Structure 1
Amino acid sequence: MQAVLDLQAMGIETATALMFGLLFLLLLTGMPLAFVTLLVALVSALGFYGTMAIPLIASRIFSFVNSFVFVSVTMFVLMAALLDRSGIARDLFEAMRLMGGRLRGGVAVQTLAVAVVLAAMSGIIGGEVILLGVIALPQMLRLGYDRKLAIGVCCAGGALGTMVPPSIVLIIYGLTANVSIGALFSAAFLPGLMLAALYVAYVLIRAWANPSVAPALPPEEIPAEEKRALLAGLVLPLAVVAFVLGSIYLGIASVTEASAIGVIGVLLSTLLRRECSLDLVIGAARQTLSTVGTIVWIGIGASALIGVFNLMGGIRFVSGLIAGVSEEPIVVVLVMMGILFILGMFLDWVGIALLTLPIFVPIIKDLGYDPVWFGVVFAMNMQVSFLSPPFGPAAFYLKSVTPPDISLAEIFTALLPFIGLQVLALALLLFVWV
C-alpha cells in the first residue's frame, strides 16, 4: 500500500512522463499498439490505485465496445471487402475512359475520379490503394507515364477515403468526440472533393509543363455500342453511392442504416454481375473480421489508458499545458496539428484518435471552435499521416502490389508533392474555413 501512496505522491507531471515514456519504450519493441496501451493502462492503474482500479478499466472497455456506431464501421469495411473481390472497380476504371478521353494526363485524372467514387462507396483506405495499384498503375506505366507521378496518383488517390464520406476516420472521430456523424459527413464532403481537385490540378499542370511525364493517348474512336457498355459500368457504383450518401444527407436513414443499405447494394451488384459466390462472401467476411478486430482492440487499449489517465488528473494537466501555449486560439490549434502530424509518422490513426481526441476536443470547445470543423481538420491531418514517412501505411499497401523494381524509398519520394498538397488543403481549412 505504501508503494501505491509513493506513486500517487510523485505528482502528475512525473506520472505523465513515466506513462508516456513506458508507452513509447514498449512501442519500440514492436509490440502492437493495442497491447501496449492496455498494458500501460493496467500497470498505471495498479501502481496508482491498486486492484480497486480494475473495475474502472473494465467499465471503460465495455462502454467503448458497446457503442452502436461500430455496426456502421463493420458494414462499411464489409462493403470495401466485397469491392476488393468483385470486378466493380475494374469496370468503373474502364468506364472512366470516356471522361479522360485524349486529355494529356487523362489516365491519371481518370484514376483520381475512380478513387473518389471508391472512397464514397467504402471509406477504407487500404483496399482502395491496392485496387488502384493493381488496375491503374500498370496501365499508366505501360503508357509511358512518369513513374513517380503514377505512383503518387495511385497512393494519394487511394487514401482519399480518409476525407470522402463515408470515412471510417470520421466515424471514429464522431464516436470519440460525441459529435453527429451525419454532420461530419456533410462538412467533409466538399473538403474531400477540394483535395481531389488539387491532385487533378497538379497532374494537369505537370502534364502541361512537361508533356513527357504524361504522354498523350493516340486518337481513339470508341464505337457507340462499346460506349454504352462502358456507361453501364458506371451505373451500379454510382447507384450505391447515391443510395448510401443520399439516404444520409436527406435524413432518410442514419449512418448505421445507410451502411447496411450499402452492403445490400454491393451484394446485389455482385449478383447482377454474376460474381457473387460463397468464396467471395466468406473471404470478405474474414477480411472484415480482421480489420474491425484490429480497430476494436486498439480502441480497447486506448480507451482503458485514457480512462486511467483521466482518473489520475492527467487530461486536465495536459489540457492546461496545451491551452496555455498561447492566448491566440489558432496557435493552440496549430500546436495540436503539430502533435498529430508527429504522431501520424509513427502511430496508427485509430490509436491517435482515441488517445488525443479526449484531450483535444474539450479544448477546441473551450476555445469557441466548432468540433465538427475540427473533425474535418483532424481527418485532413490523418490524410497526411497515411502518406508521410517512415511508416505511412498507404506506401506499404502500394508496395505490396507493385513490380519488384519499385522500391519503398521511391514510393515515399513520389508522395512528397502530394503531401505538400495535403498540407496546403489543411492550411486552407485552418485559415479560410474557420
Structure 2
Amino acid sequence: MMNLGFSAMGIEWGTYVLVGSIFGLLLTGLPLAFVTGLVALVFTFGWFGPMALPLVTARVYGFITEYSLVAVPMFVFMASLLDRSGIARDLFNGMRMLAGRVPGGVAVQTLVVAFFLAAMSGIIGGEIVLLGMLALPQMLRLGYDRNISIGVVCAGGSLGTMMPPSIVLIIYGLIASVSIADLFTAAITPAVILMFSYMAYVLFRTIRNPELGPPLSKEEANLPWSEKLRALRAIVLPGMIAFLVLGTIYGGVASVTEAAAMGVLGVFMAIVVRRELTFRLVQESVIQTINTCGMIIWIGIGAAALVGVYNLMGGNAFVSNTILGIDAEPVYIIMVMMLILLVLGLFLDWIGIAMLALPIFVPIVVKLGYDPIWFGILFAVNMQVSFLSPPFGPAAFYLKGVAPPEITLKHIYAAVLPFIVIQLIVLAAILFYPSIALWPIR
C-alpha cells in the first residue's frame, strides 16, 4: 500500500479533515469505536504509509496492558451485583426513615442514597436506573413536583462521575499518568459540595412551597422505633462496603486495583449474608460487566490509535502551540478547554472525550503550570454536566427506560436544567479556587 499523500495538506488542514471525518461518520450512526479506528487507519496509511502502523499499534498495546485498567471491570462487576441484589432497595427504604416530616425530605434522602451508591460502585447508569425504579415512583406517589423528582434522580445518579471509586477518574489517571488515589482524595470535597448544593436547591424550593415536596404523613413519619431500627440496619452493609473500598485506599492498605477486588468480595459476602446469591444473579452481572467493559475497551483502542497517529502527524504540537498562542491569561485558556469539553459532551460519551481530548489537553495544562490532579477534578465535573446535557445526555435515556410512560424526554430535559446550572457553578468555583479540590493532598 502506497502513501496516499495526505501529508501534502499540512497539519492544519489535516486536523480539520480528521475532526470533520469523525463527526461526519458519527452522523451515519456508526459506533465511536469503529469511527475512531477507521479514521486512524486511513490517516496512518494516507499520511505515512504502511510503515507507520507498528507505531500506532504499539500505542494501543500500551493502553490495553495498563495494569490499573483491571480496576474498571472489578468496579463494574461490583455495581452489577449491587444492581441485582436488594442492597440498594433496602438502603433506600432505610434512609427513608430519616426523611421525617420535613418538606422535600424524601428527595434529600434520595440524594444521600445516591451518594452512598456512588461511593460503592462508581458506575453512573446503574444508579439512575435504580433510583428511577425506587425513588421516582415514591416521590410521585407522595405528590412531589415532577421536575424536582426527575432532577434529583438524574443529578444524584450522576454523582458517580465524581465520587470515588469513579471510573471517570480512573481513566483520567491512566491517561494523565497521575496518582488515582490522589484523584480520589481530591474528588471527595467537590462531590460533597455538589450533593449539598442539590440538597440546598431542593430544600429552598420545597420550604418556600411545601406543595412541591410534601412531607411524609404522620403515619409514615411516626413509625415505632423497632421498625425504624430494623430499617436503619439496612444502612450498615452499604456503609461497610464503601468503607472497605475507600478506607483501604486512603489507609494505604491497598492500591486502587486491589481495593476494587476487595469491593467485589465485600458485595459477594453481603449478598451471601442476605441469602440472595443465585447462579442467575452472577451470570447476569458477568454479562453486564463484559458488555460495559467491552464498550470502554473498544472505544479506548480506537481513540488510542487515533491519538497515536495524530501525534505522529504533529497534531499535539499544533494544538498545543495554537492554544498556548492565545493572548490571554492561563485561566482563560483553561476556560476555553472547559468550553470545548462541554461542547463535545453534547455529542460524545465521556470515555470517547477522555481518550480523544485528554492526551492533548493534559500536557498543555502542565505547561501552563497547573496541577493535573486539579484539572482531573474539573474534567470529572464537566463530564457530570455532559451526562445530563441534551440532546444526548445519557441520564435522560437511562431514566426514560424505567420511568412511568407519561414522563417524556422533554420532561426529563426540562427537569435537569436547574441541576446543570448548579454543576456549572461548582465547576466555576473549582476553576477559580483550586484549593477546594487540592487541600487534602497538599
CA distance in 1, matches of 2:246, 2:2: 58
Letter aligned with residue 171 of structure 2:
I
Give structure 1 regions of 4+ aligned residues with deviation exceeding 4 angstroms: none
Question: Structure 1 residue 222 and structure 2 residue 223: aligned?
Answer: yes
CA distance in 1, matches of 2:204, 2:400: 26
Report the alpha carbon displacement of residue 227 of structure 1 after superposing the two structures with TM: 1.9
1:356 matched to which residue of 2?
A: 357
CA distance in 1, matches of 2:53, 2:347: 29
1:147 matched to which residue of 2?
A: 146
Deviations 1:242-291 (A, max 9, x none): 11100001111000000001000000000000001110001000000000
CA distance in 1, matches of 2:327, 2:155: 34
Give the structure-1-normalised TM-score.
Answer: 0.98
1:310 matched to which residue of 2?
A: 311
Question: Structure 1 residue 76 and structure 2 residue 39: aligned?
Answer: no
Any residues of structure 2 matched to 1:185-334 within 5 Å, and which? 185-219=184-218, 220-334=221-335
Report the alpha carbon displacement of residue 9 of structure 1 after superposing the two structures with TM: 2.4
1:35 matched to which residue of 2?
A: 34
CA distance in 2, matches of 1:3, 1:78: 44
- Is residue 100–residue 215 contact of structure 2 (8 Å, CA) maintained in 1? no
Report the alpha carbon displacement of residue 71 of structure 1 after superposing the two structures with TM: 1.0
- Is residue 117–residue 127 contact of structure 2 (8 Å, CA) maintained in 1? yes
Letter aligned with residue 173 of structure 1:
Y
Letter aligned with residue 319 of structure 2:
V
Question: Structure 1 residue 383 and structure 2 residue 384: aligned?
Answer: yes
Secondary structure, aligned partner of 2:120: helix
Secondary structure, aligned partner of 1:390: coil
Letter aligned with residue 61 of structure 1:
V
Question: Structure 1 residue 8 and structure 2 residue 15: aligned?
Answer: no
- Is residue 60–residue 303 contact of structure 1 (8 Å, CA) maintained in 2? yes
- Count of aligned pairs: 433
- Is residue 326–residue 332 contact of structure 1 (8 Å, CA) maintained in 2? no
CA distance in 2, matches of 1:7, 1:347: 26
Identity of aligned residues (%): 59
Letter aligned with residue 432 of structure 1:
Y
1:367 matched to which residue of 2?
A: 368
1:420 matched to which residue of 2?
A: 421
CA distance in 1, matches of 2:233, 2:324: 54
- Is residue 6–residue 43 contact of structure 2 (8 Å, CA) maintained in 1? no
1:99 matched to which residue of 2?
A: 98
Secondary structure, aligned partner of 2:163: coil
CA RMSD of aligned residues (A): 1.0
Report the alpha carbon displacement of residue 380 of structure 1 after superposing the two structures with TM: 0.3
CA distance in 1, matches of 2:107, 2:117: 15
* Change beyond 3 A, Cα 1:144–1:57: same
Report the alpha carbon displacement of residue 80 of structure 1 after superposing the two structures with TM: 0.5
Report the alpha carbon displacement of residue 3 of structure 1 after superposing the two structures with TM: 5.4
Deviations 1:173-207 (A, max 9, x none): 00000010000000001100100000000000000
Letter aligned with residue 168 of structure 1:
I
2:439 matched to which residue of 1?
A: none
Report the alpha carbon displacement of residue 169 of structure 1 after superposing the two structures with TM: 0.3
Deviations 1:31-82 (A, max 9, x none): 0000000000000000011111221222111111001112100100001000
Deviations 1:207-227 (A, max 9, x none): 012111111222232212212
Letter aligned with residue 389 of structure 1:
P
Give the structure-2-normalised TM-score.
Answer: 0.97
Secondary structure, aligned partner of 2:97: helix
Letter aligned with residue 17 of structure 1:
Y
- Is residue 154–residue 396 contact of structure 2 (8 Å, CA) maintained in 1? yes
Question: Structure 1 residue 156 and structure 2 residue 158: aligned?
Answer: no
- Is residue 128–residue 395 contact of structure 2 (8 Å, CA) maintained in 1? yes
CA distance in 2, matches of 1:143, 1:326: 55
- Is residue 2–residue 49 contact of structure 2 (8 Å, CA) maintained in 1? no
Question: Structure 1 residue 49 and structure 2 residue 48: aligned?
Answer: yes
Question: Structure 1 residue 26 and structure 2 residue 25: aligned?
Answer: yes
CA distance in 1, matches of 2:360, 2:118: 29
CA distance in 1, matches of 2:97, 2:134: 17
CA distance in 2, matches of 1:230, 1:53: 62
- Is residue 299–residue 354 contact of structure 1 (8 Å, CA) maintained in 2? yes
CA distance in 2, matches of 1:15, 1:41: 12
Report the alpha carbon displacement of residue 7 of structure 1 after superposing the two structures with TM: 2.2
**Larger deviation, residues 299-308 vs 12-21:** 12-21
1:89 matched to which residue of 2?
A: 88
CA distance in 2, matches of 1:36, 1:7: 18
Letter aligned with residue 309 of structure 2:
V
Secondary structure, aligned partner of 1:154: helix
Report the alpha carbon displacement of residue 2 of structure 1 after superposing the two structures with TM: 7.7
**Larger deviation, residues 206-215 vs 162-171:** 206-215
Could you tell me which runs of 5 or more consecutive residues in structure 1 were left unpaired when the two chains were aligned. none
CA distance in 2, matches of 1:2, 1:68: 37
CA distance in 2, matches of 1:341, 1:309: 22
Could you tell me which runs of 5 or more consecutive residues in structure 2 were left unpaired when the two chains were aligned. 436-442
CA distance in 2, matches of 1:103, 1:216: 5
